[in-house]
Amino acid sequence: MMKQLTTLVMAGALMLQAQGPVGPPPQGPRQAGAVKDYLGLTEDQITQLNDLRRAERQANQAVFEQLAGKQKSLRELLQGGSSDAAAIGKLQLEIETLRKQLEQSRARLRDQARAVLNASQQAKLKTLEEAAALQPAIAGAGALNLLDMPGPRGGMMGGGPGSGFGGRRQPAMR
């Protein structure tokens, strides 16, 4: 029974560890420019949104540091071959609690950021949300060469028609 519990706890720990670090996705100037143009954001709105993000990052700095420390401790326990199910489970619960705190903070930030938008911008944002839900299908269609996919620098990924997976040219079928 104890061996099964230890195995279960370790499997859960590995799944949490595989999720990777928690934090806001990187935002480059290109993405900000595209959304600014699409939504018609003013410079004042951009400033307000950036200020909100900066304040949220500062407010969560201690949580990010705690999370990183607990993830490191968990990783060290697992890599060290520890069979201390209680310590591993405790760290998993603490990590999950910190992740939930960050999710709640992001939800509050999202609400505050959306409050900066006018009604027309909020309607356009809804369209973006609907399009984002299609991302997995779009990626799958691109992988099967059903769609030309824009590359990281605005070009087309995959080398065009017949290039197959990973941009490698496939021999012509005869």
Last residue of a domain, one of 117, 136, 157: 117
Phi and psi of 156, rounded to 5°? -100, 135
- Model confidence at 162: pLDDT above 80: no
- Total of domains in the chain: 2
Q: Are residues 102 and 130 in the same domain?
A: no
- pLDDT for 136 equals 94
**74, 88 in Cβ contact below 8 A?**
yes
- Model confidence at 120: pLDDT above 80: yes
Helix (H, G, I), strand (E, B) or coil at 17: helix
Residues in the chain: 174
- pLDDT for 2 equals 46
- Model confidence at 157: pLDDT above 80: no
Closest CA to 10 of 87, 65, 62: 87
Q: Are residues 58 and 111 in the same domain?
A: yes
- Model confidence at 5: pLDDT above 80: no
Q: Are residues 113 and 123 in the same domain?
A: no
